């Protein structure tokens, strides 16, 4: 006779899995099935209450909470993360990043700070640093502070470890100095909203790099004065034809004609970034060249405008270019030091 009861065979492995999916309930005093619920729980960390949405196991038979070490550890990680966020305490990942920055082992970092390897190990495994240790760890993220620590306080590093660290600090400090300079230069050159004085364009450092490199590669005997005039004509001619500048640079009325407002900062930035090389010439003025690989960020119309300026004015001397800009209405109707409005582009002597 056929039976309506279906028999499901359970393998030994499946029995083991089913059995493992049970936890011991102290109320029921046996292993029981359980379910995971999300509940609001408040933890106290160094006297501060922190409430989180905690994941908690509950017995499916009596409803009581069941302790589970791994789940409890995950909840504590969330609590400590929130506490770190509120108090500005460094995370384990951040401490490991600091060690990596200076190529230090836990033992070496402990010796540098005179905290001990065990202390660093505990912090990297989730323990909360004391306020004093936290402040110290934050301070040494700056290579300059590490150098001051070595110079003024000393450490327990071995002579070879300290020598290696000092060598690395030299590289990091030079890199940091250059980075700060470049960021400051960009801010000085482009810390303004697009207006008629920037050709209604936001300062675009990548386009400035490409413009300068293109001029360097296509104009012989390029001086600072000549470069400034080529950039001025390119931006103003593009505004005349398209109603917007290429670079977003602002130009000022200077004795030798229009020049980028903050031109010396711009050249120093480009030189630091490796876009240009500035060297003395036989004629006793600085020669600007470039071996930078172009990244092609300019639009076709912008490249065409720059090409027109190079073809029309590229063979003129710096003196001749300076004299030409003195005839432009943009120069004649402004005073020394004034920013030059792109409105004058409509009267520019060049045509696209």
pLDDT in tens, 169-187: 999 998 888 777 878 887 8
Mean pLDDT of the chain: 89
What is the share, in percent, of the chain residues with pLDDT greater than 90?
73
Rounded Cα gap, residues 328 and 349, in angstroms: 7
Q: Quick one: CATH architecture of 32-87?
A: Roll (3.10)
Average pLDDT over residues 145-152: 94
Q: Tell me the pLDDT band of 145, cut-offs 50, 70 and 90.
A: very high
| Lookup: tokens for 221 | 């005997």
Burial, 311: exposed, middle or buried (Cβ in 10 Å; 0-12, 13-18, 19+)? exposed
pLDDT at 286: 82
Q: Tell me the pLDDT band of 1, cut-offs 50, 70 and 90.
A: very low
- pLDDT at residue 14 tops 60: no
Average pLDDT over residues 304-328: 96
pLDDT at 284: 57
- pLDDT at residue 138 tops 60: yes
Q: Are 133 and 119 in contact (CB under 8 A)?
A: yes
Instruction: Tell me the per-residue pLDDT of 191-235, one tens digit each, with 9 for 90 and over.
Output: 889 999 999 999 999 999 999 999 999 999 999 999 999 999 999
pLDDT at 266: 93
pLDDT at 214: 96
Q: Helices (H) and strands (E) in the chain — how many of each?
A: 14, 9
| Lookup: tokens for 175 | 């890199």
Q: Are 189 and 269 in contact (CB under 8 A)?
A: yes
Q: Where are the domains of the chain?
A: 32-87, 92-181, 194-347
pLDDT at 12: 45
pLDDT at 21: 76
Burial, 94: exposed, middle or buried (Cβ in 10 Å; 0-12, 13-18, 19+)? middle
Tell which residue, 164, 181, 174, 109, has the closest CA to residue 141.
109
Burial, 101: exposed, middle or buried (Cβ in 10 Å; 0-12, 13-18, 19+)? middle
pTM: 0.58
pLDDT at 283: 62
Q: Are 321 and 313 in contact (CB under 8 A)?
A: yes
Instruction: Tell me the per-residue pLDDT of 51-85, one tens digit each, with 9 for 90 and over.
Output: 999 989 899 999 999 888 888 889 999 999 999 99
- pLDDT at residue 312 tops 90: yes
Residues with Cβ < 8 Å from 114, sequence gap 6 or more?
Answer: 155, 156
Average pLDDT over residues 282-302: 85
pLDDT at 293: 86
Residues with Cβ < 8 Å from 46, sequence gap 6 or more?
Answer: 83, 128
pLDDT at 20: 54
Q: Are 279 and 224 in contact (CB under 8 A)?
A: no
């Amino acid at each position: 006779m056929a039976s309506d009861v279906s028999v499901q065979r359970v393998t030994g492995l499946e029995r083991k899995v089913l059995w493992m999916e049970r936890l011991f309930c102290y109320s029921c005093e046996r292993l029981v099935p359980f379910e995971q619920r999300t509940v609001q729980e408040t933890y106290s960390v160094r006297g501060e209450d922190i409430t989180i949405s905690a994941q908690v196991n509950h017995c499916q038979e009596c409803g009581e909470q069941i302790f589970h070490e791994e789940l409890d550890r995950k909840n504590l990680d969330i609590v400590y993360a929130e506490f770190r966020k509120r108090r500005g305490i460094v995370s384990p990942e951040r401490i490991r990043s600091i060690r990596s920055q200076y190529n230090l082992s836990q033992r070496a970092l402990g010796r540098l700070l005179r905290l001990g390897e065990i202390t660093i190990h505990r912090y990297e495994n989730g323990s909360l640093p004391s306020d004093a240790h936290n402040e110290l760890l934050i301070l040494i993220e700056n290579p300059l502070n590490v150098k001051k620590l070595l110079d003024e306080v000393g450490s327990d590093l071995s002579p070879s470890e300290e020598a290696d660290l000092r060598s690395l600090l030299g590289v990091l400090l030079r890199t940091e100095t250059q980075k700060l300079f470049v960021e400051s230069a960009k801010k000085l050159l482009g810390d303004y909203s697009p207006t008629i004085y920037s050709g209604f364009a936001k300062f675009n450092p990548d386009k400035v790099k490409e413009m300068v490199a293109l001029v360097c590669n296509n104009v012989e005997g390029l001086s600072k004065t000549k470069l400034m005039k080529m950039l001025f004509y390119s931006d103003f001619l593009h505004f005349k034809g398209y109603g917007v500048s290429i670079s977003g640079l602002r130009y000022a009325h200077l004795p030798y004609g229009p020049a980028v407002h903050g031109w010396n900062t711009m050249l120093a930035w480009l030189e630091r970034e490796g876009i240009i090389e500035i060297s003395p010439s036989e004629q006793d003025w600085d020669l600007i060249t470039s071996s930078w690989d172009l990244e092609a960020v300019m639009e076709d119309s912008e490249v065409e405008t720059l090409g027109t300026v190079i073809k029309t004015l590229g063979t003129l001397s710096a003196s001749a270019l300076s004299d030409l800009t003195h005839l432009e209405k943009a120069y004649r109707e402004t005073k020394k030091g004034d920013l030059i409005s792109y409105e004058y582009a409509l009267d520019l002597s060049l045509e696209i």
